[in-house]
Structure 1
Amino acid sequence: MSEKLLVIGESRDEALRNVTFEAIAAAKKINAEGEIVGVVLGNEDLQEQAQEMVYFGADRVITVKHDNLKSYTSEGYGQAVMAIVSEESPKAIIMGHTAIGKDLTPKIASKMETGLISDATDIELKDGNVIFTRPIYSGKAFEKKVITSGVTFATIRPNNIAALERDESRTGDIVSKEIDVANIRTVIREVIRKATEGVDLSEAKVIIAGGRGVKSEEGFKPLQELADVLGGAVGASRGACDAEYCDYSLQIGQTGKVVTPDLYIACGISGAIQHLAGMSNSKVIVAINKDPEANIFNVADYGIVGDLFEVVPMLIEEIKSLQKN
């Protein structure tokens, strides 16, 4: 009988769904021959999300629908997941290192009395061992960890482990399970979400980020135009957020979002270590700054010393010209 690997999915928006599919790929890396069992929780129809998990590699998906799962609470989700874990006895549990994942998985690990590897950026097999790579010291170094016994429990950083190809020919069982989610002490009175347009920052392949050098809220407009041309998203340093040039939802860094896009263009960002912790693992980093001594150039693959208000419009025109051709 093959080992079971449990993937805890998220269904609230497209970006979170993508992280779920990456988690399935991570489970496959841990054990390509194992049975991937997906879990989706909520209070609405979960059939579509469950089917997508099958298309992306899950062999079986368990859905749990309950009114107390309408909004995330660690109590509600914890009860549902623990009930499934007890029944399935998985050899491994994988979830995305998202806001929910970071809150839920330590609580489950504590109840299971098992270890947890958080924020893994890579998984490899060597000499029969599963080796997880994760950043430490705000991204200045990496450590490799091996679980020698018990359940393999890990969260993976979004946009680091590529999802498998979507295959609509794949089939798998989708089972609806009734679990009594009760005695929720946390009461969600209201959920307010800030509406954003375009590409989600945490899943963007291209990010144009602005710092204090943007100088004003108006200064973010050319960055947004460049992001639109490249099909990317706009981010910011904490300095720009503190100066009220933009909303804190755009903050990238140690106390903001951690991103790993294919292309990161830093505009007017000095390169404080707290900001580097959130973006230094980007595949290609381009820095635009008037100060040739700015720390951001130490991590950049390409650097442009110049005024961003001159450089960015030139980039936009050049990219538009190339797109026309």
Structure 2
Amino acid sequence: DQVIVYDEPELARFAIEPYTSAFEDFIHSYQPGSILVGATTVGRQLAPRVAARMHTGLTADCTILEMDESTDLSQIRPAFGGNIMAHIKTPNNRPQMATVRYKIMNAPERMPGESGEIVNRHMPSGKLVSRVEVLDIVEKPKEESIENADVLVVAGRGVKKPEDLQMLQELADLLDGQLACTRPLVEAGIMDAKTQIGLSGRTVRPKLIITCGVSGAVQFTAGMNHSDQIFAINTDPEAPIFKTANYCLVGDLYEVVPELIQRIEARKGAAHV
């Protein structure tokens, strides 16, 4: 309903002290009952500092949120390595604060026409002082993130050797997608942690996800079960992933994936002709 704007020169780039001061000013002025912060690099720094200033609790990396009639916010997040889902409430303090994982909720439909109100607030420079001096800014090369991919091919424990990932990468390339993995491949040092899907990795919502040799433990499926279409390949007909998948293929990924690649190449070739 309202967007509160602090547009000051001191806030041009993220600095923890000025941003915290602006956030604190907002809370004192508007007295919100609950505050949600994105669990981004900035949000994970800012939220705990603001919570400490306000003498209130903070639940990090929430995956589900529910509001009780009493206005107590039920903050649900994975705990103990994703083995349980903890329900946390802070009934004695306000504001209730939580950081929320990226892509864990559906984006609202775009509404035609404008609504709501933009409120500009001003803060004196003396309250936006930073004791950190930025000496230089070095741009980081742009990285492809699995969170933004429309298509993902996921390597699971069923992949026998690191060299076999090339086959899955070929499938991902044909579909203009990216290669991702489950936790065992990261722990074995075969793939980077940035490509891991699950409660201890990244949360994704691609249009299509193809899991190859993935059993489908709850820690993994919680990070991808909102994907538009889930296509699962596994030799075990009782694999838990089949309870989540839209399309279930019982078979050896070493037989299925090459045939998939062959058929996609044939279809692409026919389309070019």
TM-score normalised over the length of structure 1: 0.61
My pick for the range that moved more, 177-186 or 90-99, is 177-186
Select which of 147, 152, 172 maps to 2:90.
Answer: 147
Residue in structure 1 matched with residue 113 of structure 2 by the alignment:
169
**Counterpart residue type for residue 103 of structure 2:** N
- Identity between Structure 1 and Structure 2 (%): 28
Residue in structure 1 matched with residue 239 of structure 2 by the alignment:
297
Query: Residues of 1 paired with 2:189 and 2:64: CA distance?
Result: 36
- After superposition, the Cα gap between the structure-2 partners of 1:282 and 1:218, relative to the gap in structure 1 and judged at 3 Å, is closer
- After superposition, the Cα gap between the structure-2 partners of 1:297 and 1:69, relative to the gap in structure 1 and judged at 3 Å, is farther
Select which of 124, 131, 143 maps to 2:74.
Answer: 131
Segments of 5+ residues of structure 2 without an aligned counterpart are none
- After superposition, the Cα gap between the structure-2 partners of 1:67 and 1:320, relative to the gap in structure 1 and judged at 3 Å, is farther
Residue in structure 2 matched with residue 159 of structure 1 by the alignment:
103
Residue in structure 2 matched with residue 265 of structure 1 by the alignment:
210
**How far apart are residue 156 of structure 1 and its match?**
1.9
Select which of 148, 154, 169 maps to 1:209.
Answer: 154
Map Cα deviations across residues 47-66 of structure 1 (whole Å, 9 max, x no partner). xxxxxxxxxxx433314343
Select which of 110, 131, 136 maps to 1:184.
Answer: 131
After TM superposition, the structure 1 = structure 2 runs for residues 1-325 of structure 1, keeping only pairs within 5 Å, are 58-66=1-9, 69-70=12-13, 72-129=14-71, 130-149=73-92, 150-179=94-123, 180=125, 181-185=128-132, 187=134, 189-196=136-143, 200-204=145-149, 206-211=151-156, 213=159, 215-216=162-163, 218-225=166-173, 227-228=175-176, 233-237=178-182, 240=185, 248-253=193-198, 256-259=201-204, 264-268=209-213, 277=219, 279-283=221-225, 286-288=231-233, 292=236, 297-301=239-243, 304=249, 306-315=251-260, 317=263
- After superposition, the Cα gap between the structure-2 partners of 1:264 and 1:280, relative to the gap in structure 1 and judged at 3 Å, is farther
Query: Residues of 1 paired with 2:135 and 2:212: CA distance?
Result: 39
Structure 2 contact 104–203 (Cα < 8 Å) conserved: no
TM-score normalised over the length of structure 2: 0.70
Segments of 5+ residues of structure 1 without an aligned counterpart are 1-57
Query: Residues of 1 paired with 2:40 and 2:69: CA distance?
Result: 30
**How far apart are residue 227 of structure 1 and its match?**
4.4
- After superposition, the Cα gap between the structure-2 partners of 1:299 and 1:188, relative to the gap in structure 1 and judged at 3 Å, is farther
Aligned partner of residue 234 in structure 1, secondary structure: strand
**How far apart are residue 69 of structure 1 and its match?**
3.9
Q: Computing the radius of gyration over CA atoms, which structure comes out larger, 1 or 2?
A: 2
Aligned partner of residue 90 in structure 1, secondary structure: coil
